[in-house]
Structure formats: structure tokens, C-alpha cells
Structure 1
Amino acid sequence: MIKHIVAWNFKEEISQEENCNNAKKVKEELEGLKAKIKEIRTIEVIIEPLKSGSFDVVLVSEFDSVETLQAYQIHEEHLRVSSFVGSVLRNRKCIDYEI
């Protein structure tokens, strides 16, 4: 199984209120992909992490294999949501690993 973790920060030039609204929309959009992309085994978006961390929004998802992760990454719905996420968040960091 493959664990796919992505983390972002809020854009500094956007107000805190708008960042919070954007985070809720990001969570809704990303978690909504589970119903649209069969390759997703699990998906969770954390929008209120502990303040001791370095990121504001974190995606944790699981896939059966590298191939299913790759299928997810090129799926049109994922590309649509990724475009939105990139427009409202910054500093994307990602780690994928096998468990």
C-alpha cells in the first residue's frame, strides 16, 4: 500500500477569514474525490492541525499501489481540484511511501 501525504501553507496575502473559508473548500473538494476516483483507498484532509506544526492544511491518502496513485494523479477530477488548491494555498510539500 502507498501512503500519499501533501501539506500546504496559507497564502500570506490572503486574509485569515478567507484562508479559513478556502481551507474548508479544499477539504470538501479533496475528500469529495473519493466518490469520483476509484483508485483512492482512503483520503482525509486536516484543516485545523496543532499550532506546533509547520503547515496549515494536510492531505493524507492511501492507494493500493504506485500505479493506482499515478492513475489518481492524472485523473481529470484530481487535476481540476489540484488547480483550485494551487490557486489558494502555497508551499506544497509531498511525501509518498510504501507501507
Structure 2
Amino acid sequence: MVKHIVLFKLKDDVPTAEKLAIMNNFKEAIEALPAKISVIRNIEVGLNMNPGETWNIALYSEFDSLEDMKAYATHPDHVAAGKILADAKENRACVDYNF
């Protein structure tokens, strides 16, 4: 099994209300993906509630294999969800590991 953890930082100059809307829309879109992408074993999106921290969004997901994770990553519905963050995203960090 593979765990896929991604952190997103949104640009500081994005207004707070707009950031919250983007974050919530992204969370909703990602958490709807298991109904569309069968290789997802578990997925959740956490929105950082601590304004003193650097990262705004944490995405946690599980897959049976790295190949399944790659299929998820290139799936059109996942790509569409990622576009929600495209203009507001400053940075992304990712770790994929076996468990």
C-alpha cells in the first residue's frame, strides 16, 4: 500500500475570503473523487486552522500501489480538482511511501 501526502501553500496576496473559498472548493472536489476513481482506498483533505503555520492544505490518500496512485494523479477528475488551486497556489510538497 502507498500513502500519498501533499501539502499546499497558497499565495499570501490572495485575500482571506478567497483563500477559504478556494480551500473549501478543493476539499469538496477531492473528497468526491472516490466515487469516480476506484483505485482510491482512502482520501481526506485537511484545512489548516493555525494561521501561524506555512501550509494551508494537507491532502492524505492511500492506494494499493504506486501505479494506482499515478492513475489517480492523471485522472481527468483529479486534474480538474487541481485546477481549483492553480492560480492561488504558491508551493506544493509531496511524500509517497509504502506502508
User: Fold match, TM over 0.5?
Assistant: yes
Measured after TM superposition, the shift of residue 50 of structure 1 is 4.1
Q: 1:88 to 1:52 in 2, by over 3 A?
A: closer
- Looking at secondary structure, tell me which structure has more helix per residue: 1
Change (3 A) 1:41 1:49: farther
**Residue 13 and residue 53 in structure 1: after superposition, are their counterparts in 2 closer, same or farther (change >3 A)?**
closer
Alignment of 1:1-99 (within 5 A): 1-51=1-51, 53-99=53-99
TM-superposed CA distance for 1:53, in Å, is 4.2
Quick one: distance in 2 between partners of 1:51 and 1:26? Answer: 19
Q: Is the 8 A contact 1:33 1:78 kept in 2?
A: yes
> The residue matched to 1:95 in structure 2 has which SS?
strand
Partners of 1:62 and 1:96 in 2: how far apart? Answer: 9
Unaligned runs of 5+ in 2: none
8 Å CA contact 2:44–2:60 kept in 1: the answer is yes
CA contact (8 A) 2:48 2:55 kept: no
Deviation at 1:87, TM superposition (A): 2.4
Could you tell me the TM-score, scaled by structure 2's length? 0.90
Sequence identity percentage? 35
1:49 and 1:57 in contact (8 A); partners too: no
How far apart are 1:17 and its partner, in Å? 1.2
Write the letter of the residue equivalent to 1:31.
E
Q: Distance in 2 between matches of 1:33 and 1:41?
A: 11
1:57-88 deviations in Å (ceiling 9; x for gaps): 01000001111111111111111111222223
Deviation per CA, 1:38-59, whole angstroms, max 9, x where unpaired? 0110000001344564311010
Q: Which runs of 5+ in 1 are unaligned?
A: none
Quote the offset at 1:34 in angstroms.
1.3
